[in-house]
């Protein structure tokens, strides 16, 4: 008997994959918690009862300006739920909309498209000024270095605002442990050179920069330190499911409010895998499945990268990725670094030798580490097959065909694992 598994594909699509029941260990995804029934009430409660700082409307009093830094469209959209209420609280504290600015913090990602801004902000886009930070071109303000030696260079508009607010989504992250918190400062609205200073082979290979770990994690600790040095006044973090239902929201002092969000929701992301398999079929899930750059981290590296403490794939196993990637490679440095090398091992060696790293080198390094040990197939992707093959990955126009060929290679006793929406997952296989 075959089991038909529905593989998430894009924003609302699915691919069907037939897998023999005797081969399938299981289909795994993050846990389903109970979403908040009254989201507006939960957000209001967080804003009125923040952790270790005064309520936002009290902080707005006697302030002349406020800047709210938000993430880009590569994360679930909490902005459309949170921002209208944040603006209300700022106005009740005496700030006019003309004194409030929203800055989109994409880090070194591309600028936000207008349709993404429309979706994130709705009517607010026409009521307050919206700026998209550019890590390469925006004017920066320098704050020296962290105790770890990393430069602090962030968007000047944010740095010089009277009231500094950051909004973000908490999800598992390959070396920050979790997104949200101070990462908006260390990456979201930072300079390209500051981002590159922490996105290095040494950081990726550090034993504590792993999915879901913040204890003694140098990237996490440096990010929190940067947020405090810059003087972030107020943080709003939230966790949502794949349908953008709200699970938890916290507000207040950067480190404590971020930690509250992590502690309340961490168990939703942790998934125990009973045994490792020769074949792992993986879908990174929307919105992390639209390009090769994000899929590289959230699908390929999520299975077997250096940040995975307990991989669920056997030695010499195969990863089959099912994600559309209609946006293409996304980051040219990442793509070129992989393409121009003859082997993944050459990529690893090359990136380790670069003294002036640029955003994208780290991702090429991480993906190459996986490609050096395992076979990776991109199946039924909308990405050009020539692009896929040029970065040492095998393309296949059919997910079912890719799976059947791989199963035939390993034999009828091979074990199979399916991981769904891995951008929301901390997969642990302790065997």
Look at residue 88 in the predicted model and tell me its pLDDT.
96
Residue 86 CA to residue 106 CA, distance in Å, equals 20
Q: What is the pTM of this model?
A: 0.93
Pair of tokens at residue 213: 């770990």
Residue 182 CA to residue 186 CA, distance in Å, equals 6
* 100 and 19 inside one domain: no
Q: What are phi and psi of 404, to 5 degrees?
A: -65, -40
* 80 and 151 inside one domain: yes
How many domains, in total, are found in the chain? 2
Look at residue 113 in the predicted model and tell me its pLDDT.
83
Contact 273, 427 (CB under 8 A): yes
* 238 and 142 inside one domain: yes
Domain boundary among 211, 246, 268: 268
Residue 168 has pLDDT above 90, yes or no: yes
Contact 346, 181 (CB under 8 A): no
> How many residues in total does the chain contain?
431
pLDDT tens track for 331-349: 999 999 999 999 999 999 9
Look at residue 431 in the predicted model and tell me its pLDDT.
66
* 51 and 92 inside one domain: yes
Look at residue 284 in the predicted model and tell me its pLDDT.
96
Residue 255 CA to residue 183 CA, distance in Å, equals 11
Show the DSSP H helices in 139-250 as ranges.
Answer: 156-159, 183, 192-198, 201-205, 218-230
Token pair 């902000």 is at which residue? 121
Look at residue 421 in the predicted model and tell me its pLDDT.
95
Report cis status (omega within 30 of 0) of the bond before 234: no
pLDDT tens track for 95-123: 999 999 999 999 888 888 888 888 888 88
* 229 and 311 inside one domain: no
* 260 and 278 inside one domain: no
Domain boundary among 268, 285, 309: 268
Could you tell me the residue range of the domain that residue 201 belongs to?
39-268
Q: How many CA atoms lie within 13 A of 131 on its CB side?
A: 19
Domain boundary among 216, 244, 268: 268
* 8 and 117 inside one domain: no
Residue 360 has pLDDT above 90, yes or no: yes
Instruction: Give the CATH number for residue 153.
Output: 3.40.50.11440
pLDDT tens track for 238-289: 998 878 889 999 999 999 999 999 998 899 999 999 999 999 999 999 999 9
SS3 364: helix
Q: What percent of the chain has pLDDT over 70?
A: 100
Cα distance between the two ends of the chain? 27
Find all residues with CB under 8 Å of 382, minimum gap 6, and list them: 324, 325, 326
* 367 and 305 inside one domain: yes
Give the Å distances, CA to CA, from 150 to 54, 108, 115, 333, 431: 30, 17, 35, 22, 37
What is the sign of the dihedral through the CA atoms of 117, 175, 355 and 361? negative
* 282 and 255 inside one domain: no
Contact 179, 75 (CB under 8 A): yes
* 112 and 52 inside one domain: yes
Residue 368 CA to residue 54 CA, distance in Å, equals 47
Report the pLDDT averaged over residues 114-138.
Answer: 89
* 263 and 280 inside one domain: no
Instruction: Give the CATH number for residue 414.
Output: 3.90.226.30
* 184 and 231 inside one domain: yes
Report the pLDDT averaged over residues 399-404.
Answer: 98
Q: What is the DSSP string of 207-222?
A: TT-STT--TT-HHHHH
């Amino acid at each position: 008997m075959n089991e038909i598994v529905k593989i998430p594909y894009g924003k609302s699509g699915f691919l069907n994959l037939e897998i023999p029941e005797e081969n399938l260990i299981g289909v795994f995804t993050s846990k389903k918690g109970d979403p908040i029934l009254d989201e507006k009430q939960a957000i209001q409660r967080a804003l009125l009862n923040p952790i270790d700082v005064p309520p936002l409307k009290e902080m707005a009093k006697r302030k002349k300006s406020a800047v709210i830094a938000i993430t880009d469209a590569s994360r679930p959209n909490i902005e459309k739920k949170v921002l209208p209420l944040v603006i209300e609280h700022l106005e009740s504290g005496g700030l006019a909309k003309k004194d409030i600015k929203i800055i989109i913090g994409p880090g070194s990602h591309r600028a936000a498209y207008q349709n993404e801004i429309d979706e994130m902000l709705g009517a607010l886009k026409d009521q307050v000024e919206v700026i998209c930070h550019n890590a390469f071109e925006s004017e920066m303000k320098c704050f020296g270095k962290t105790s770890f030696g990393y430069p602090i260079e962030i968007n000047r508009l944010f740095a010089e605002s009277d009231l500094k607010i950051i909004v973000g989504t908490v999800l598992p992250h390959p070396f920050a442990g979790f997104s949200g918190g101070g990462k908006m400062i260390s990456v979201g609205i930072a300079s390209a050179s500051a981002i590159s200073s922490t996105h290095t082979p040494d950081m990726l290979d550090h034993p504590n920069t792993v999915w879901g770990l913040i204890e003694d994690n140098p990237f996490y600790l440096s990010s929190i330190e940067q947020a405090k040095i810059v003087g972030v006044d107020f943080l709003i973090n939230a966790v949502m499911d794949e349908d953008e239902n709200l699970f938890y929201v916290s507000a207040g002092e950067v480190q404590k409010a971020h930690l509250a969000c992590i502690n309340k929701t961490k168990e939703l992301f942790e998934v125990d895998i009973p045994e490792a398999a020769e074949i792992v079929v993986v879908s990174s899930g929307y919105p992390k499945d639209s390009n090769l750059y994000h899929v590289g981290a959230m699908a390929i590296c999520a299975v077997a990268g250096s940040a995975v403490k307990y991989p669920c794939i056997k030695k010499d196993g195969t990863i089959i990725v099912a994600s559309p990637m209609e946006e293409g490679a996304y980051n040219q440095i990442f793509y070129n670094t992989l393409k121009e090398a003859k082997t993944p091992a050459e990529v690893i060696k090359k990136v380790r030798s670069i003294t002036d790293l640029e955003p994208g080198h780290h991702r090429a390094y991480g993906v190459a580490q996986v490609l050096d040990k395992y076979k990776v197939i991109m199946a039924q992707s909308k990405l050009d097959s020539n692009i896929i093959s040029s970065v040492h990955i095998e393309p296949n126009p059919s997910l079912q065909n890719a799976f059947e060929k791989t199963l035939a290679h390993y034999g009828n006793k091979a074990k199979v694992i399916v991981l769904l929406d891995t951008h929301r997952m901390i997969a642990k296989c302790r065997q």
